[in-house]
Structures are given as C-alpha cells and as structure tokens.
C-alpha cells in the first residue's frame, strides 16, 4: 500500500471540496492511504510538495487547486509558474498528478471539479498513481 500526499491550494473552498472528494475516492479505491496538506495558493503547491518529499513519507503526490481568470496578468503568472514548478519536480522522478484547474469562470471549474462530471481531482490522483507505478517499474 502506498501513501499519497494531496497538496491543495484552498482558495475556493466549495470547488476544492469537490476536487478533494474525487482525489480521495480514487486513492482509496486503489487501496492506498493519503494525507492532505493545505497551502495558501497554487504558487505554493510545488514548494510544499518538494518539502514533503524530503521526509520520504510519501510515494506520490496530488496537486489540487482552482485558478479562475481575473482582470489582471496575475492569472497567467499563477497558472504558468505553478505548472512549471510541478513539471520541474516530475522531471526529477517524482510521481505527481496535477489537478490544478486553470479556468475562465466558476462554471468551468465546477464542471471539472464535480465527480459526476469531469472529476479532475480523481483524474489527478489516477495520474499520480500511474506515474508511481511507472517509477517503480523503471527506477525500483
């Protein structure tokens, strides 16, 4: 049984609750355990994952959050830099599923977060588990 850390940027609570439900269900259905760590925003997710990885307590990570486009360039910075940070960690061999939603509006976020619709939280957890299995196969 693997132990997975879900790192969530909890800005939109009602949307994060949906993402978390999907991620937790996917991990539990696969027979694994999990913990959840909350950080202030999407930009903090990669750093939190990197710090938690130092503990050696986790086999994979799930990044969750919601970034909704606003009126300023900040949206692009948050989306691009959080994704870049997660990608850099995956290239070191870490198993991470990226479920940080980057959307135009709340309706898009709701459709993607809801387990009955797109279940992106569950999809991010499934991706993390798939990458964990791939790492075990090739790295050991």
- Range with the lowest mean pLDDT among 6-10, 62-66, 68-72, 114-118? 68-72
Catalytic pick from 3, 32, 34, 74?
Answer: 74
Residue 133, marked binder: no
For residue 7, the cross-strand partners are: 37, 63
Question: What are the Cα distances from residue 66, in Å, to 53, 57, 73, 89, 103?
Answer: 23, 26, 16, 20, 8
Q: Which domain holds residue 22?
A: 3-138
User: What's the domain count of the chain?
Assistant: 1
130 token code pair: 């798939």
Q: Report the half-sphere exposure of 75 (CA within 13 A, side-chain side).
A: 13
Q: What is the pLDDT of residues 65-91, one digit of tens each?
A: 999 999 988 999 999 999 999 999 999
Q: What is the pLDDT of residue 140?
A: 76
pLDDT in tens, 37-65: 999 999 999 999 999 999 999 999 999 99
User: Is 102 annotated as ligand-binding?
Assistant: no
135: annotated binding-site residue?
no
CATH of the domain at 7: 3.40.50.960
- Tokens of residue 118, six digits: 């797109």
**Regarding beta strands 60-68 and 33-39, do their DSSP bridges make them parallel or antiparallel, or are they unpaired?**
unpaired
DSSP-derived 3-state class of residue 6: strand
Active site residue 74: yes
The whole-angstrom distance between residue 132's C-alpha and the CA centroid of its chain comes to 14
Per the confidence metrics, is the pTM higher than 0.85?
yes
Q: How far apart are CA 86 and CA 73, in angstroms?
A: 20
């Amino acid at each position: 049984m693997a132990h997975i850390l879900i790192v969530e940027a909890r800005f939109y609570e009602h949307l994060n609750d949906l993402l978390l439900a999907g991620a937790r269900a996917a991990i539990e259905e696969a027979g694994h355990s999990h913990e959840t760590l909350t950080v202030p925003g999407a930009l903090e997710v990669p750093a939190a994952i990197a710090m938690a990885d130092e503990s050696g307590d986790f086999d994979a990570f799930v990044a969750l959050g919601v970034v909704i486009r606003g009126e300023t360039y900040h949206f692009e910075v948050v989306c691009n830099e959080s994704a870049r940070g997660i990608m850099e960690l995956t290239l070191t061999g870490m198993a991470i599923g990226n479920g940080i939603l980057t959307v135009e509006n709340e309706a898009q976020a709701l459709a993607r977060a809801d387990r009955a619709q797109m279940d992106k939280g569950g999809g991010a957890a499934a991706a993390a588990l798939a990458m964990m299995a791939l790492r075990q196969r090739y790295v050991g």
